[in-house]
Chains A and B, each alone.
Chain A
């Protein structure tokens, strides 16, 4: 072999990302929303829960009756809508992230174990998955909230304990196809422990699949949080959450439709951003395969 030292040229993730329009758009949008959520206290023009009953239901800036201090108007209690939207991003992202951490950990662990070991272990875990799939999420959440009281922690715990099924199904299937690969046998031949094989060797092979599930599930969770808050089972007023804002705005839907349109579009944008980004990341990361 020649000694010429040729650097292997491998495009960086960043460079690949520039070639992927979807990931770029999704990533930018997501980054902006995350920044807004993080910097909420700095950029929100008003206190999101401060009421001013003399200035109720002011319209947003494009309207004739709008006032410059309330760029997106005020709600039925005279709270600044822009500030509530900004703080609402925190709830959506926080719930999305928290739930995925809980459900992802449960689902991936169970799926890996079921798929790798098979046999009766697989039977038990598959039974758990089927049981979980037969539970209606909203009903169970309703019961849990009735018992534990509505709070952000209850919401994250309940959703986290309910939404692990998709992770489990996907990782189980992937582990099943990987466990008979020769490299697993090779690892056993060098005496690698089961934990190492499962979490350090098999799991990294599922990165692309898991990324897709994460992006789908984050979007799902954000919508569920909105739906549960809308039903009064999620975030309690006066905490601003996009779902709760839609719920509170529905009395005025006829004359002030922007009360619903604004948080609705924000939700739509966030879900779109997460999906675009997740889809793009799947294509970008990971080594080249044959």
Chain B
């Protein structure tokens, strides 16, 4: 079966110069990333800030050209696809609904705009249908984003993303800017929409609890590389890569007695410029050996996971 969205060996580098006379350095934002999501499934993409999640999202949306590699949606390469076709296949829902809606446009305009741009007819009726689909009363069509609550705004953003009837929805931290009480509503809305419309989703998040709830499949990224990928249950029950384990251990428990989780990463932060052949995570890894720094790590299958660590057992 052809996956709904497939990334093959995507690589994206930025050329940076730190200081006026410094030599240009290459920052590898996404390094040979391959992902596949089957139709109707949800992929959770997790990793700390700067690990290349957002770059990967921009590439999937066609906003950024990868240096090499292919993105296919429903079997079609999006690099050569006309924009009008691309937007009907894949749409984003962004993190911050305060910033993702133009504050001077009315909800009616915002939701209807994608359709309007591509010469859709009957825009008003469609907007009404979409608002109903995401659980907003039709009377809000006249309001401005500033007059809605955060949760309502995110519903508007979802309606706007869905009006063209895309096959794939990319959610870039869609709940992290919302109140905890509203997060659950939005997540349940996404879940029911996914079932109802048969959407394929890529769900980018810091929040592991959300990913566990939503995703069928999880890919963990570190400094542009996919370091572990597994079915959600397998990953949360038995993570293989040391980084994934640390990530899972850092999750806060809803237990006041538990205290703050101890993180075993040492004081170093992820350094995208650190140049060595071996594992990128090695400098912070609690299980590091000399060979980790020297030998390049390849993805290998371990139990139910795909993991980029030779020492994982």
Residues of A at the B interface (CB closer than 8 Å) are 1-3, 5-8, 10, 181-183, 185-186, 188-192, 201, 204-205, 207, 286-290
How close is A175's CB to chain B, nearest CB, in angstroms? 14
Interface residue from B58, B100, B117, B143 paired with A192 (Cβ < 8 Å): B117
When the two chains form their complex, are residues B99 and A288 in contact, meaning their CB atoms are under 8 A apart?
A: no
B171 interface contact, C-beta 8 A: no
When the two chains form their complex, are residues A190 and B94 in contact, meaning their CB atoms are under 8 A apart?
A: no
Q: Given A189-B91, A191-B83: A8 and B117 within 8 A (CB)?
A: no
25 contacts between A and B (CB under 8 A): A1-B136, A3-B137, A5-B139, A6-B139, A8-B140, A181-B100, A183-B101, A185-B58, A185-B92, A185-B94, A185-B100, A188-B63, A189-B61, A189-B62, A189-B91, A190-B117, A190-B164, A191-B83, A191-B84, A191-B118, A192-B117, A205-B104, A286-B104, A288-B146, A288-B147
When the two chains form their complex, are residues A182 and B117 in contact, meaning their CB atoms are under 8 A apart?
A: no
When the two chains form their complex, are residues A8 and B143 in contact, meaning their CB atoms are under 8 A apart?
A: yes
- Tell me the residues in window 78-95 of chain B with beta carbons closer than 8 Å to chain A beta carbons: 83-84, 86-87, 91-92, 94-95
When the two chains form their complex, are residues A189 and B104 in contact, meaning their CB atoms are under 8 A apart?
A: no
B40 interface contact, C-beta 8 A: no
Q: How many residues of B contact A (CB 8 A)?
A: 39
Interface residue from B62, B96, B143 paired with A182 (Cβ < 8 Å): B96
Give Cα A237 to B217, complex, Å.
82
When the two chains form their complex, are residues A182 and B84 in contact, meaning their CB atoms are under 8 A apart?
A: no
When the two chains form their complex, are residues B103 and A287 in contact, meaning their CB atoms are under 8 A apart?
A: yes
Residue of A nearest to B106 (CB): A287
Give Cα A2 to B135, complex, Å.
10
When the two chains form their complex, are residues A2 and B139 in contact, meaning their CB atoms are under 8 A apart?
A: no
When the two chains form their complex, are residues B87 and A1 in contact, meaning their CB atoms are under 8 A apart?
A: no
When the two chains form their complex, are residues B87 and A191 in contact, meaning their CB atoms are under 8 A apart?
A: yes
Q: Given A183-B99, A185-B94, A189-B63: A287 and B86 within 8 A (CB)?
A: no
B142 interface contact, C-beta 8 A: yes
When the two chains form their complex, are residues B146 and A287 in contact, meaning their CB atoms are under 8 A apart?
A: yes
Interfacial chain A residues near B135, Cβ < 8 Å: 1
Give Cα A10 to B92, complex, Å.
31
Residue of B nearest to A205 (CB): B104
How close is B216's CB to chain A, nearest CB, in angstroms? 24
When the two chains form their complex, are residues A290 and B146 in contact, meaning their CB atoms are under 8 A apart?
A: yes
How close is B82's CB to chain A, nearest CB, in angstroms? 9
- Scan B127-149; emit 1 where CB is below 8 A from any A CB, else 0: 00000000111011011111100
How close is A190's CB to chain B, nearest CB, in angstroms? 5
Interfacial chain A residues near B151, Cβ < 8 Å: none
Interfacial chain B residues near A182, Cβ < 8 Å: 94-96, 99-100
Interfacial chain B residues near A192, Cβ < 8 Å: 117
Give Cα A192 to B63, complex, Å.
12
When the two chains form their complex, are residues B144 and A183 in contact, meaning their CB atoms are under 8 A apart?
A: no
When the two chains form their complex, are residues B104 and A190 in contact, meaning their CB atoms are under 8 A apart?
A: no
Interfacial chain B residues near A185, Cβ < 8 Å: 58, 63, 92, 94, 100
